[in-house]
């Protein structure tokens, strides 16, 4: 059994879990943060994407024990004080979702894309960067529109230095 501590959405949390517990299980079942979804469980669909130490990863393909000591951000950590994050607002504005199952992972990936590329995104880059996120409803069109709009509104100030 592992004793795991990490910072999740700015809050220090700890828990006791089996060594084989996946990060997504720990987030959903130990912490009760069910915004992070499990779609395929085979590392392909991206519904479980969270940020670990500032980078988008598939939380179904990382052990909770591997994330011990890390900073984790989930979809629940994006909005501040009841105000949607600009990417969340853009997904609503552009109807970037239908059933909504992939949306938490899409939005966490989108924030990561904008962090890395800043406001100077083009459609081709967004589509290539969404390689690891599958949506079976929208055909991606409105998702891409939402990300481009959020990127331009957030501007280059959004770019987080990777160094």
Partner 1 sequence: MYATNYHRASSVEDAVKLASSSDEAKYISGGQTLLPTMKQRLAAPSDLVDLRHVSDMKGISVDGGKIRIGAATTHAEVASSPDVASACPGLAHLAGHIGDPHVRHLGTIGGSIANNDPAADYPAGLMALGATIVTNTRSISADEFFTGMFETALEDGELIVAVEISAPASCGYAKFPNPASRYAMAGVFVARQGDGSVRLAVTGAGSDGVFRHAGMEQALASDFSPGALDGIGVDDSELLSDIHASSAYRANLVKVMAKRAVSAAG
> Is residue 7 at the binding interface for partner 1, with CB under 8 A as the rule?
no
Report the sign of the C-alpha dihedral through residues 70, 48, 163, 155, in that order.
Answer: negative
CB atoms within 10 A of CB 92: 12
CA distance 147 to 153: 10
**Sole binder of partner 1 in the list 112, 142, 144, 154 (CB under 8 A):** 112
CA distance 11 to 32: 14
> Is residue 104 at the binding interface for partner 1, with CB under 8 A as the rule?
no
> Is residue 141 at the binding interface for partner 1, with CB under 8 A as the rule?
no
Provide the mask over 40-79, with x wherever binding to partner 1 is found by CB under 8 A and - wherever it is not: -xxxx-x--x-----xxxx--xxx-xx-x-----------
Q: Between residues 43 and 95, which has the closer beta carbon with respect to partner 1?
A: 43
CA distance 16 to 9: 19
- Residue that the structure tokens 């499990």 belong to: 38
CB of 52 to partner 1, least distance (A): 8
> Is residue 111 at the binding interface for partner 1, with CB under 8 A as the rule?
no
Q: Among the candidate windows 12-20, 82-90, 136-144, 151-159, which touches partner 1 by CB under 8 A? A: 12-20
CB of 82 to partner 1, least distance (A): 29
54's CB contacts (< 8 A; 6+ apart) are: 71, 115, 160
Total residues binding partner 1 (CB under 8 A): 29
103's CB contacts (< 8 A; 6+ apart) are: 91, 96, 97
Contact residues for partner 1, defined by CB under 8 A: 2, 18-20, 22, 41-44, 46, 49, 55-58, 61-63, 65-66, 68, 109, 112-113, 129, 131-133, 162
């Amino acid at each position: 059994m592992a004793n795991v501590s990490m910072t999740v959405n700015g809050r220090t949390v700890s828990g006791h879990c089996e060594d084989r517990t996946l990060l997504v299980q720990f987030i959903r079942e130990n912490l009760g943060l069910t915004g992070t979804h499990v779609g395929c469980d085979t590392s392909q669909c991206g519904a479980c994407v969270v940020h670990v130490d500032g980078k988008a990863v598939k939380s179904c393909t990382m052990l909770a024990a591997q994330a011990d000591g890390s900073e984790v951000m989930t979809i629940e950590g994006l909005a501040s004080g009841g105000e949607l994050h600009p990417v969340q607002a853009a997904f609503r504005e552009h109807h970037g979702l239908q059933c909504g199952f992939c949306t938490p992972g899409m939005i966490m990936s989108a924030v990561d894309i904008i962090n890395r590329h800043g406001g100077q995104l083009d459609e081709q880059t967004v589509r290539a960067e969404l390689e690891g996120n599958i949506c079976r409803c929208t055909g991606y069109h409105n998702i891409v529109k939402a990300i481009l709009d959020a990127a331009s509104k957030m501007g280059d100030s959004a770019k987080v230095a990777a160094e």
